[in-house]
Amino acid sequence: MSIFGNSIFGNKAADAVANPAADSGAARPDEQAPASQKTDAQWREELTPEEYRVLRQAGTERPYTGEYWDTHTAGVYQCRACGTELFTSNEKFDSHCGWPSFWAPLAEGKVRYIHDRTMGMDRIEVRCGTCDSHLGHVFEGEGYGTPTDQRYCINSVSLRLVPRDTADSATAEG
């Protein structure tokens, strides 16, 4: 059932989505976008320049500079662009790579995967399943000793942490 076992690495046609950064910015009226997707102008207006660069142009924040790379606060991480709950602190672990790292998303279907062969590497890009914003990449088999042996390497600027005690404090701590 691993994403690495079937669809992604096995499907070389999965890179059908063009890199938004390569787009000149011209409108593409025939684009088959998710229903919730906004226009480029709307994203530019709503997001900060750094958020826009990472979320909408598949950029990467510099390691050890993001808000959450070393955060241990219990809570839920939402998509910075659309507010969808994507990850929780339960799956966050210390990878010491300089970005927030999770060994699984909150649930299957919360994120989508795209085969990314830019930058001279062969990687799996992770995007928000709701608004299609860039989140980061997922790697497998690095030996971190987590339940999945996967590392969702996510930009802090793509996320917004909602601490648990401001939401539902009834959840039992393991």
Per CB under 5 A, residues contacting Zn ion are 79, 81-82, 84, 128, 130-131, 133
Cα angle, residue 71 at apex, residues 66 and 75 outer, rounded to 5°: 115
Nearest distance from C-beta of residue 120 to Zn ion, angstroms: 28
Distance, in Å, from the CA atom of 2 to the CA atom of 68, rounded to the nearest integer, reads: 26
Does residue 128 carry a catalytic annotation? Answer: no
Nearest distance from C-beta of residue 81 to Zn ion, angstroms: 5
Nearest distance from C-beta of residue 80 to Zn ion, angstroms: 8
Count other C-beta atoms under 10 Å from residue 51's C-beta: 19
Please say which residue, 37 or 71, places its beta carbon nearer to Zn ion. Answer: 37
Please say which residue, 89 or 133, places its beta carbon nearer to Zn ion. Answer: 133
Distances (CA, A) of 79 to 64, 85, 95, 130: 20, 6, 21, 9
Rounded to the nearest 10 degrees, how much is the dihedral formed by the CA atoms of 24, 25, 26, 30?
100
Nearest to 114 by CA among 136, 143, 85, 82: 136
Check if the beta carbon of residue 97 is closer than 8 Å to that of residue 63: yes
Nearest distance from C-beta of residue 54 to Zn ion, angstroms: 12
Catalytic, out of 79, 128, 131, 153: 153
Please say which residue, 8 or 126, places its beta carbon nearer to Zn ion. Answer: 126
| Contacts (Cβ under 8 Å, ≥6 apart) of 131 | 34, 36, 37, 38, 79, 81, 82, 84
Check if the beta carbon of residue 85 is closer than 8 Å to that of residue 76: yes
Please say which residue, 82 or 138, places its beta carbon nearer to Zn ion. Answer: 82
Q: What residues act catalytically?
A: 153
